[in-house]
Chain A
Amino acid sequence: MTRALSTAALAAILACGCCTVESSHDFRGVKVGGNAEPIAVLAIENSGWYFLGCLPILTGNPDRPGHIKLFSDTVTLENNIKMLSAKARQENATEIANLASRVREDLAIGFFIFGRKQVFTSAVIMRPAAAEKGEAADGGK
């Protein structure tokens, strides 16, 4: 029993609060929608462990993806959008498409004492196509 509990505790620590921003750029010229040029598809995930489903214990750090925070409620939709716009700014994107978010609360995973909360956001970040840019420039003249 002790061994089983310690294994579960170790698994919980290993899989604890984490924040990741993953991007993929391999479009090979394929358009996603409209005339804009897709830059990357982003997958943003933030998760954490909560005591009784409400008190944060270990959560992902949205300011430093890949790191954790203690006793801070960072698993929110707002933090995911903040990370998305930071990444979009870094990639010089001006438009987004296919923005979707999902909130998941696994209360039963820790037998209702420790619950896991996850917020997942995905989107395609885009910039105006070269032709559009040219048209805009001509129109301006």
Chain B
Amino acid sequence: MKRGPYIAAAAAAMLALTSGCVSIDRCGAERLEGLTINGTHAKPVEHIVVSNFGYYLFDVFPLVSGNANPDRWFPFLIFSDQVKLSKMQSLLSAEIQRKRGREIAELNSHYDAAPCFSVSLDPKSVLGLLFCYREVQLSAVLTESEPAKEVDMPAAKEVRQ
């Protein structure tokens, strides 16, 4: 009995079930307990990490990846390249827009790509070479922007004096 097709089907099913996911991890400023961001004097409001990952054939052709569209109602997309820095930035920008009057600090990006099965059950298997994992993340701190009035008022008073 040929096991190859069954193994490939099982691997594909597992990939489809568990793969490709966009996640937005947040942590409120109450955890930062009085710490300020160096050089900004702005008050941190939220630490946020947006990430997406997916599986690619030969690290080129997208198989399954998390749906990074803002109006998504399906968690993953098939044959669509969603693991992109631009998609993550759009998600982050949408988050910032949603919370008006906030700025961004400490923006960092992280990109990772690796063979999917680094530890293979069968040493002869080529699954490890076929499927590749790709991930992109953006990490940032949302800060409360200083109101324009507070900055402008003292200067205006000085000019009048």
Which residues of A are at the interface with B, using a C-beta cutoff of 8 A? 8, 32-34, 36, 52-53, 76-78, 80-82, 84-85, 88-89, 93-105, 107-109, 111-112, 115, 119, 124-126
- Our pick among B14, B23, B32 for the contact of A85 (Cβ within 8 Å) is B32
List the A side residues contacting B146 at CB < 8 Å.
Answer: none
Chain B nearest CB, measured from A82 CB (Å): 5
Interface CB pairs A-B, < 8 A, 16: A52-B18, A80-B27, A88-B35, A93-B35, A94-B34, A96-B35, A96-B36, A96-B37, A97-B37, A97-B39, A99-B37, A100-B139, A101-B47, A105-B53, A108-B118, A108-B133
Q: Roughly how many angstroms separate A81 CA and B51 CA in the complex, as a whole number? A: 18
List the B side residues contacting A53 at CB < 8 Å.
Answer: 18
* B47 close to A77 (CB less than 8 A): yes
Q: Roughly how many angstroms separate A8 CA and B118 CA in the complex, as a whole number? A: 14
Q: Say yes or no for B49: interface residue by CB 8 A criterion.
A: yes
Please classify the interface of chain B as helix (H, G, I), strand (E, B), loop, or mixed, using the class held by over half of its residues: strand
B: interface residue count bin: 35 or more
Q: Roughly how many angstroms separate A50 CA and B159 CA in the complex, as a whole number? A: 63
List the A side residues contacting B25 at CB < 8 Å.
Answer: 76-77, 101, 103, 119
Which residues of B are at the interface with A, using a C-beta cutoff of 8 A? 14, 17-19, 21, 23, 25-28, 31-39, 47, 49, 51, 53, 106, 108, 110, 112, 116-119, 121, 133, 135, 137, 139, 141
Q: Of all chain A residues, which has the CB nearest B115?
A: A108
* A103 close to B38 (CB less than 8 A): no
Apart from A101-B139, A104-B112, what 20 extra A-B contacts exist at CB < 8 Å?
A: A33-B38, A34-B39, A36-B38, A52-B18, A78-B26, A78-B28, A81-B27, A84-B32, A85-B33, A88-B35, A94-B36, A95-B37, A96-B38, A99-B139, A102-B49, A102-B137, A103-B25, A105-B21, A109-B119, A111-B14
Chain B nearest CB, measured from A127 CB (Å): 10
Chain A nearest CB, measured from B9 CB (Å): 14
* B49 close to A77 (CB less than 8 A): yes
**Known A102-B49, A102-B139: A112·B18 in contact at CB below 8 Å:** yes
Q: Roughly how many angstroms separate A108 CA and B21 CA in the complex, as a whole number? A: 14
* A98 close to B106 (CB less than 8 A): yes
Q: Roughly how many angstroms separate A125 CA and B36 CA in the complex, as a whole number? A: 10
